[in-house]
Structure 1
Amino acid sequence: MSDPSSALLADLVGQPVTGMRQLQGGDLSEVRLLTLADGSHRVAKLGSHARAEAGMLEAMARTGAPVPKVLEVRPLMLILEHLPESHALPGAWGRLGRRLRAMHDAPPPEGAGYGWPEDYAFGPVPIPCGLPGEAPGTATDWPRFWAEARLLQGIETLPMPLARRIEALAQRLPDMLPAAPRPSLLHGDLWAGNLLFGPSGNVHLIDPACARGDAEVDLAMLHLFGQPGPGFTANYGSLPPGWGTRRVIYQLWPALVHLRLFGPSYRTLVEDLLDRL
């Protein structure tokens, strides 16, 4: 996507933009740091899902989750407050654990089920909002949702032996996952790259791909490529028995997404998770 015009940016932020540079990251969208005439900064995210991401950030903010403020949104652009990156201070991970638990425990809207009100995507990989024949975000059968809207998505693109293993696992999910866990608000892509240590060393959640589902989905992603820092687990709180097996099931979907996005180097990760199950 080409850079937005100076006139459009000035209209969105209320003053002239004197500088703009691309920020690191942004594998699936373009992110720009804007310098304004008064010396302050804003972040502009460019892409077709700008409005959807704004809604996700605002939903998370209503639960008290630490997210950047949405300042302006247009069909192809989102303006956010700029949070200067810092480093984790003592207690930051513990505070994140408490606030993530509060987000997961927040009461869902009336009539909300599993999924989200609209489809989303990781670049070219779709994230379905629900199940066929049901209103978006209202699914009530969690194992079916995780099978059909997550693990089996895009299965036709996988090597046949791998696809058959995933299909076999999907049939077993009713015996392995809870039938109807609380439809918690999920960040949906909670890995270390989407944790920003901002002002005062606090952890902020960025780049969401929200859905409603089992809260353990976020924890599984957070533990897939690393471990949260000291105090997180104790402050998040205990999990029901059997969480270890569920964690592997929930980690399988982001592993499959990485396989589809970034190629065969992630096949071993997918196969290792399947072996553990």
Structure 2
Amino acid sequence: MIPIIEKGLQQISPGEKIVKIHSVSGGDINQAFYVKTNEQEYFVKLNRQMCLGFFQFEERGLKMIQATNTIDVPNVIGCLEVDGIPMLWLEWIEGKRTHKTDELLGERLAAMHLAEAKGYGFEGESYIGRLPQQNRLMEDWVDYYRDVRLGGQWKRGKASGAIGQAREKRLVKLMERLDEWIPRNPKSCLLHGDLWGGNWMVGPGGVPYLIDPAVLFGDHEMELAFTELFGGFSRNFYEAYQSVFPLSPEYEERKELYQLYYLLVHLNLFGESYGPSVDRILRKYVG
């Protein structure tokens, strides 16, 4: 693997030489490496099973978040393909949490959600985890969330057998009634799109950084609902967030409808262990 990374380095910064390299944790999708050269440090991700568009979507998301000037992300150094293997080069981020870190994360995420945005969805190739996510920009949030997000996972699960007849019947019934709970025209926000506890990190000075985005434009409550699904976010985070961008009184009523999308994704990615959680939500809303 080192020769491939050396070739990539010469494409993004000719003349630099690697002085240290070792593998690091990069999630369950990619191979990841710490690379130190004679000039700087990098975080490098590569994936033999994915196309270059997989990392181009991540690059686009990081730059869109960065453009809001609200919350930090690693700088993108290069997104390229070497000998048929796509790779993403980012600046290396390292730091220690302080008593202010969680508060800053909440405040700055809320500020990102308050930044100007238009429409719902995303235009162009995108992914959620390693799953391709069909996308388009729409003017109605319910239509987008129903037809593209829930509908896309329904079709994938039906094709694979993860969504059988009884589950499908309830899901279709819920999708038909979605506008009873989900607003059609909430404020459009740039969302990270995959914000669980492992997709943010601490940088210099205890400053939070967002990583591994799966961006879309949508209701900020969808983002907050996912942060609650698997945990990993403190009370300070939520209090700081709401001090900047309060959640609606109806948030608790529809929170699980937003979590349903992510549970369907996990059902399609990892199997039936997520099925009971999907069924519980379907029964709660449509019996």
In the alignment, the residues of structure 2 paired with residue 44 and residue 274 of structure 1 have an alpha-carbon distance, to the nearest angstrom, of: 40
With 1-10 and 238-247 compared, the bigger mean Cα shift is at: 1-10
With 265-274 and 248-257 compared, the bigger mean Cα shift is at: 265-274
In the alignment, the residues of structure 2 paired with residue 123 and residue 214 of structure 1 have an alpha-carbon distance, to the nearest angstrom, of: 20
Select the structure that is richer in helix: 2
1:128: how far off?
1.9
Distance 1:165 1:85, change over 3 A: farther
Partner SS for 2:110: helix
TM-score normalised by L of structure 2: 0.85
Contact 1:248–1:276 (CA under 8 A) maintained in structure 2: no
Contact 2:112–2:190 (CA under 8 A) maintained in structure 1: yes
Matches within 5 A, 1:1-277: 4-14=4-14, 15-38=16-39, 40-47=40-47, 48=52, 49-63=54-68, 64-74=70-80, 76-84=86-94, 86=96, 88-108=97-117, 112-130=118-136, 137=137, 139-155=138-154, 156=158, 157=160, 158-237=163-242, 238-277=246-285
Distance 1:245 1:3, change over 3 A: farther
Contact 2:170–2:283 (CA under 8 A) maintained in structure 1: no
In the alignment, the residues of structure 2 paired with residue 148 and residue 83 of structure 1 have an alpha-carbon distance, to the nearest angstrom, of: 38
Share of identical aligned residues, percent? 32
1:227: how far off?
4.7
In the alignment, the residues of structure 1 paired with residue 255 and residue 42 of structure 2 have an alpha-carbon distance, to the nearest angstrom, of: 36
User: Cα RMSD (Å) of the superposition?
Assistant: 2.0
What runs of 5+ residues in structure 2 fail to find an aligned partner? Answer: none
With 74-83 and 142-151 compared, the bigger mean Cα shift is at: 74-83
Letter of the 2:128 counterpart: F
What runs of 5+ residues in structure 1 fail to find an aligned partner? Answer: 131-136
With 232-241 and 212-221 compared, the bigger mean Cα shift is at: 232-241
Contact 1:115–1:128 (CA under 8 A) maintained in structure 2: no
In the alignment, the residues of structure 2 paired with residue 186 and residue 68 of structure 1 have an alpha-carbon distance, to the nearest angstrom, of: 17
1:176: how far off?
1.1
